[in-house]
């Protein structure tokens, strides 16, 4: 049987994380382990997760593991800690799973079925129910500060469970991605410079360049509350991450012709936001966007303000 490790990154969101773990506990696939990486949460959130893991151990359930980080390493750095542990523990595949998700009990059964049908697939995505609709992947748009979630063109009912190969301009969403260990062994883990946003897209682009296939298993379902983890940071800070990381992503991965246009895109952003500040319109937001662009050119990556 395929050995799967589930990596769940937790930061000051123990309520959702425990809901996620409760759903993971009900999975009908036996050959898995789950590691929760706590990203230096406040003590009450850390203790809530610790109590859950200890309660499972008392019930004889040994598949849950808690790793605590001394500082907040972001999405990329925190998940990398869990991925490293999973690889050292002998995992064949690692499921990166957001803490604000819940899974259906047949998730791993559906994903392993997709793996067996597509042994050369490097990263496999799921259907993700975000409340107001189901998305399957993301779409890359160059010189844009944000990425777009996308649906897939429906297949005939008799083929509804068939796995789908993704075109080069699409990527697997980081909320739920099953990654073959060979991907990490060949291209490395998440780029920790991003800290938050674009790291999942970056991993997918690098995997595809290393000749791994990206596919989606549309009959494997995950439920996701996309605002619960990041909304506490505030709109301005999120925009700063978006603009900084979009620049990094484009510099690393865009076609040559797009890379040439990157400085001109930066200049346009600076002029536009400076004008808004001059007329005193959305000053806080405009300053955050400007800071994001300048962070990129100054080489200030990782956690902003830390």
pLDDT tens digits for range 278-294? 888 889 999 999 999 99
Least confident of 46-50, 121-125, 135-139, 262-266: 135-139
Angstrom CA distances, 69 to 39, 233, 278, stand at 5, 20, 42
Of 216, 215, 214, 190, nearest in space to 202 by CA: 190
Least confident of 70-74, 153-157, 176-180, 252-256: 153-157
The helix or strand, by DSSP H or E, that contains position 56, with its residue range, turns out to be helix 43-58
Mean pLDDT for 230-235 is 68
pLDDT at position 60 is 84
pLDDT at position 70 is 94
Least confident of 54-68, 262-276, 288-302: 54-68
How crowded is the C-beta side of 182, counted as CA atoms within 13 Å?
Answer: 10
pLDDT at position 207 is 97
Distance CA 199, CA 174 (A): 8
State the pLDDT confidence band at 114, using cuts at 50, 70 and 90.
very high
The tens digit of pLDDT for each residue in 148-201 reads: 877 655 545 554 556 778 888 899 999 999 999 999 999 999 999 999 999 999
Question: Which pTM does this prediction carry?
Answer: 0.92
Instruction: Quote the radius of gyration of the chain (alpha carbons, Å).
Output: 20
Q: What is the dihedral of CA 126, 186, 93, 168, to 10 degrees?
A: 10
CB atoms within 10 A of CB 16: 17
Percent of the chain whose predicted confidence (pLDDT) is above 90:
80
Q: Which residues of 31-62 are buried (b: 16+ CB within 10 A; e: fewer)?
A: ebbbbbbbbebeeebbebbbebbeebeeeeee
The tens digit of pLDDT for each residue in 189-198 reads: 999 999 999 9
Distance CA 176, CA 155 (A): 22
- Strand 170-171 with 164-165, pairing: unpaired
**In angstroms, how far apart are the furthest CA atoms of the chain?**
64
pLDDT at position 161 is 58
DSSP of the chain: ---EEEEEEESS-HHHHHHHHHHHHT-S--SEEEEEEE-S--HHHHHHHHHHHHHHHHTT---EEEEE-SS--HHHHHHHHHHHHHHHTT-SEEEEE-TTEEE-TTHHHHHHHHHHH-TTEEEEEEEEE-SS-EE-EEE--TT-SS-EEE--PPPPGGGTT--EEPPTTEE--TTEEEEEHHHHHHH-S--TTSSSSSHHHHHHHHHHHTT-EEEEEEEEEEEE-TTTTTGGG-HHHHHHHHHHHHHHHHHHHS-HHHHHHHHHHHHHHHHHHHHHHHTTSSHHHHHHHHHHHHHHHHT--SSTT-
Distance CA 85, CA 66 (A): 11
Least confident of 64-78, 136-150, 172-186: 136-150
Name beta bridge partners: 68.
38
């Amino acid at each position: 049987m395929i050995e799967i490790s589930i990596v769940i990154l937790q930061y000051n969101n123990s309520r959702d994380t425990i809901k996620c773990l409760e759903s993971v506990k009900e999975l009908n696939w036996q050959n898995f382990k789950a590691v929760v990486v706590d990203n230096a949460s406040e003590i009450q959130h850390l203790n809530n997760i610790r109590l859950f893991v200890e309660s499972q151990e008392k019930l004889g359930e040994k598949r849950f593991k808690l790793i605590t980080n001394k500082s907040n390493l972001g999405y990329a750095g925190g998940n990398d800690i869990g991925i490293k542990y999973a690889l050292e523990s002998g995992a064949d595949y690692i499921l990166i799973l957001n803490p604000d998700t819940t899974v259906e009990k047949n998730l791993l059964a559906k994903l392993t079925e997709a793996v067996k049908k597509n042994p050369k697939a490097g990263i496999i995505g799921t259907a993700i129910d975000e409340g107001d609709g189901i998305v399957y992947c993301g779409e890359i748009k160059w010189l844009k500060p944000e990425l777009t979630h996308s649906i897939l063109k429906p297949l005939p009912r008799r083929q509804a469970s068939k796995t789908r190969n993704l075109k080069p301009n699409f990527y697997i969403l980081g909320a739920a991605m099953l990654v073959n260990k060979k991907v990490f062994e060949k291209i490395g883990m998440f780029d920790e410079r991003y800290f938050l946003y674009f790291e999942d897209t970056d991993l997918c682009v690098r995997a595809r360049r290393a000749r791994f296939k990206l596919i989606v298993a549309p009959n494997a379902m995950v439920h996701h509350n996309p605002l619960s983890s990041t909304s506490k940071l505030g709109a301005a800070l999120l925009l700063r991450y978006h603009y900084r990381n979009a620049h990094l992503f484009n510099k690393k991965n865009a076609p040559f012709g797009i890379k040439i246009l990157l400085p001109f895109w930066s200049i346009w952003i600076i002029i536009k936001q400076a004008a808004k500040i001059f007329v005193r319109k959305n000053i806080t937001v405009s300053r955050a966007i400007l800071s994001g662009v300048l962070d990129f050119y100054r080489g200030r990556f990782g956690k902003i303000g830390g």
